[in-house]
Amino acid sequence: MNNEFNTLQKFDAGKGREGFFHSLPELEKQGVGKISRLPISIRIVLESVLRNCDGKKVRRKDVETLANWNAKKPANEEIPFVVARIVLQDFTGVPLVVDLAAMRSAVKRLGGDPKIIEPLVSVDLVVDHSVQVDFFGSADALRLNLEMEFKRNRERYQFLKWGQQAFKTFQLIPPGIGIVHQVNLEYLAKGVLASQFEISNLKSQIYFPDTLVGTDSHTTMINGLGVVGWGVGGIEAEAGMLGQPVYFLTPEVVGVHLTGKLREGVTATDLVLHITQMLRAQKVVGKFVEFYGEGAASLPVPDRATIGNMSPEYGATIGYFPVDQESVNYLRATGRSDEQCAAFENYFRAQKMFGMPRRGEIDYSVDLQLDLGQVQPGVAGPKRPQDRINLPDLGHTFRSLLQQPIKDGGYGKENVDLSTRHLVQLNGSAPHDGDMPGIDPGEERNKAEMVTNRPTPDPAKDLQGADPFHHGESKIGHGSVLIAAITSCTNTSNPSVMLAAGLLAKKAVERGLRVDPAVKTSLAPGSRVVSDYLTKTGLQTYLDQLGFNLVGYGCTTCIGNSGPLHPKIEKAIHDHDLVAASVLSGNRNFEARVHQNIKANFLMSPPLVVAFALAGRVDLDLTKEPIGKDKDGKETFLRDLWPSLTEVRDAMQSALTPEVFRRLYRDFADQNPKWNEIPSSTGDIYQWDEKSDYIHEPPFFEDFSMKPGKIENIVGARALGIFGDSVTTDHISPAGAIKASSPAGQYLISRGIEPADFNSYGSRRGNDLVMTRGTFANVRIKNLMVPGTEGGVTRYLGKPRQGADATGEQMSIYDAAMKYQKDNMPLVILAGTEYGTGSSRDWAAKGTRLLGVKAVVASSFERIHRSNLVGMGVLPLQFAEGTNAQTLKLDGSESFSITGLSDAIEPGMTLTLRIERADGRSDSVPVSLRIDTPIEIDYYRHGGILQFVLRQLLAKK
């Protein structure tokens, strides 16, 4: 056990147990820093840095720098954060399990014990991103959607099942159980963790805060429980999984002092939309946000979690609430053991971090104030989550946006009669026209979780006889609500808003109100606990009567898996160019996220989703205009249906017990027969199946040996691409559609796969053969080596030789890279500023490496992509200020050498880029080595983080 600063102390862990911990108050006593003034979130990271300080991976200097965090001017240093656990969702999790499986195969080839490959911290993968709303509004919807999901994802699920039995520290939560962040909040999170260690030859327990990273941006939801964690890309998660630190720059911390209380009729969703708008305006991107004060103390954990969830929408790295009595109460109420609750409380008390801080107790970089009493009911949209609209203003705002020019963010419908409605007859189970709803490979969807898996959009054909649509007659026009979805972990984790939706439905049904058949209604909670309390309170039956039948436990509409609309509705939208609306309790609403044909998307609380489904339109003021007519023809208003706080509280008390959580989170697998039916291979080694086009053994460990190679100069490299500024990770590794004419498309066709069944790059992340072909294949990328073109093309010039053609043959980047590999020639990429910007995406670095690129020379790098390149053994180099490919007049006909590379390299040192031009002239320019830390030198020397860890593990045995 590291104890560099002599901070290891005993504490009373409760229930008669004694434990050890690294005491931050002791660190302060030793004069290392004024720790008691630090934001709580910074102290939690500091504890990890202190506990893991081993002089190499984490250095004394890292502890001292963070302990002296300067609120007004944080040091521009990277923090090595070793997290306690990892959470994954299925889309981003599959490639990580593929890498682990490949490591095991490599160990076996070397004659070792494959079981040495285990995640070193606990990993939980929740399968939640694949369920789609094909069926809705019927008692069968849940079963039918689940059947469709299993049919579409069988190959991936088989593989995950193998992983589940092969790794001890890897827990898999099968489909149909819940959404990753809600399951994390209700079940996986422990608040404080303990591990065994030996002291004076005696076994004891060391306690430390629960911390994590997840491969999904809304991992921040757990911040509501006082757990520090956020979303990262695959390579950082992989590093964390293998016990390596996740690096991030010392952040500013914005304190938000909450005062007052929410008023009657105002929900947690209203609050989070208010906060999102407020913090977006304050520019908190890349910062920690910490909520505190008596207003924060008054919020129950589900409300805090709703606020933490939307951190990516307000731009913060985390949206954190310190641990207090409410946090302990929540753990107890959700069925965590008395021992766990006692350890949680006692640990935070021992660290002097228990209780909601008050104003003036902590130094924040910026201090903001919010009176909860000022928050108003509202919605956000129609295109961005930060565009909040007070409820009374929605109708007016929608009408004016409809007429505003497109260039000003409107819909450009200047001369149309907004009251026109078009009749649609929704009869029978119309054959589906094969439209692919929702997916759009564009920039805005540059987000790991956005990749959906929908090979077969025709449920009516797939499940013979089942009818996916509502029937009846309807009239639709601009502003018609066509999707109403109670969805997303943002809200379905919060019983107050879910019960409010049920209570509103009850009052509506009792008055005889109905939902128009054109509205696609769905209820997709993030855990089965929600169904339990909605059933127990008798409210589910009212939701059912309005069409909000259960459709699945997963992300559904929130991730864009809203499924098809009735073809006649889609036709009417198309024929009349309608600006139709969706209302959903999700957290993102940019165009095409929810459904490709729905242009106006409004985020709102679950009760408002039910209200707008009943109203059938968004172009009205629900606070003044009637929502509909009751069975006696009398106008009914929202205020007639809205449940009081007391009604909601009473329902909560009667329905929520710790035993429900314990029962529903016990033995998931046994509770999911479909999962059990999936055959899975067993054993420690995965039997790679050459017939699979979803799962393939990546070549990262081909020719792997125990000795890393020497660091040597790169000589005689060709440029594979020369790019301008702001090349995103989506340019480098697109997530969306696979073009039939692209190398990946051609490869799939050669495997007998029809373009209709290509699926997206995202869903094929477990197959390097597709992903490598897809690298730099974004249809929008511009390679300056081939001026005037768009897409993944380059010029192949072969080996430099006298009198050779300096123009080269034009071909795809993949084909050229393969030819260069045959020629045994190294490759470089040259780029402008902010190279690798956008969401972290593991395949952007993996694909670069597998194409044979040895170095990327750019004017500047996006932080995470730079570290991902090093993690994959690709050298990031930075041009000196004022120099770039354009100032050097490079066109790709040159050959390049990088000198100064040896085993003695040091972070940040200057190297030389030597340029041999086709006409025989040459230049040399300095470039700085963007390997930023000593541990990264080790990663690079070993050819990447996976190889580094594998050698370490093999050496231990």
Q: Where do contacts with ligand SF4 occur on this chain (CB under 6 A)?
A: 128, 179-181, 216, 218, 449, 488-490, 555, 558-559, 586-587
Q: Is the peptide bond before 382 cis (omega within 30 degrees of 0)?
A: yes
Torsion of CA 330, 332, 335, 337, to 10 degrees: 140
Give min distance, CB of 624 to ligand SF4, in A. Answer: 32
- CA-nearest of 201, 526, 227 to 347 is 227
Q: Do 553 and 668 form a contact (C-beta atoms < 8 A)?
A: no
User: Of 182 and 521, which has the nearer Cβ to ligand SF4?
Assistant: 182
User: Of 727 and 735, which has the nearer Cβ to ligand SF4?
Assistant: 735
- CA-nearest of 326, 272, 269 to 297 is 326
Radius of gyration of the chain (CA): 28
Give min distance, CB of 184 to ligand SF4, in A. Answer: 10
* DSSP 8-state assignment for residue 765: T
Between the alpha carbon of residue 385 and those of residues 254, 419, 421, the distances in Å are: 20, 27, 28
- CA-nearest of 18, 16, 17, 38 to 27 is 38
Give min distance, CB of 212 to ligand SF4, in A. Answer: 14
Give min distance, CB of 492 to ligand SF4, in A. Answer: 8
User: Of 180 and 380, which has the nearer Cβ to ligand SF4?
Assistant: 180
User: Of 107 and 558, which has the nearer Cβ to ligand SF4?
Assistant: 558
Rounded distance, CA 788 to CA 759, Å? 29
Q: Where are the beta strands (DSSP E) in 359-429?
A: 366-371, 378-380, 388-390, 422-426
User: Of 145 and 488, which has the nearer Cβ to ligand SF4?
Assistant: 488
Rounded distance, CA 1 to CA 90, Å? 34
Per DSSP, the three-state class of 554 is: coil
User: Of 515 and 559, which has the nearer Cβ to ligand SF4?
Assistant: 559
Rounded distance, CA 879 to CA 830, Å? 10
Pairing relationship of beta strands 170-173 and 318-320 according to DSSP bridges: unpaired
Give min distance, CB of 558 to ligand SF4, in A. Answer: 3
Rounded distance, CA 468 to CA 459, Å? 7
User: Of 245 and 586, which has the nearer Cβ to ligand SF4?
Assistant: 586
Torsion of CA 698, 702, 706, 708, to 10 degrees: -90
Give min distance, CB of 757 to ligand SF4, in A. Answer: 24
The pair of structure tokens assigned to 105 is 């195969």
Between the alpha carbon of residue 726 and those of residues 314, 657, 836, the distances in Å are: 22, 51, 7
Q: What DSSP assignment string belongs to 287-321?
A: -EEEEESHHHHHS-HHHHHHHHHTHHHHT-SEEE-
Rounded distance, CA 387 to CA 276, Å? 9
Give min distance, CB of 449 to ligand SF4, in A. Answer: 5
Give min distance, CB of 271 to ligand SF4, in A. Answer: 17
User: Of 184 and 897, which has the nearer Cβ to ligand SF4?
Assistant: 184
User: Of 99 and 216, which has the nearer Cβ to ligand SF4?
Assistant: 216
User: Of 534 and 555, which has the nearer Cβ to ligand SF4?
Assistant: 555
Q: Do 409 and 600 form a contact (C-beta atoms < 8 A)?
A: no
User: Of 180 and 828, which has the nearer Cβ to ligand SF4?
Assistant: 180
Partners of 637 in beta bridges: none
Rounded distance, CA 847 to CA 235, Å? 12
Give min distance, CB of 86 to ligand SF4, in A. Answer: 15
Give min distance, CB of 89 to ligand SF4, in A. Answer: 6
Give min distance, CB of 554 to ligand SF4, in A. Answer: 7
User: Of 351 and 521, which has the nearer Cβ to ligand SF4?
Assistant: 521
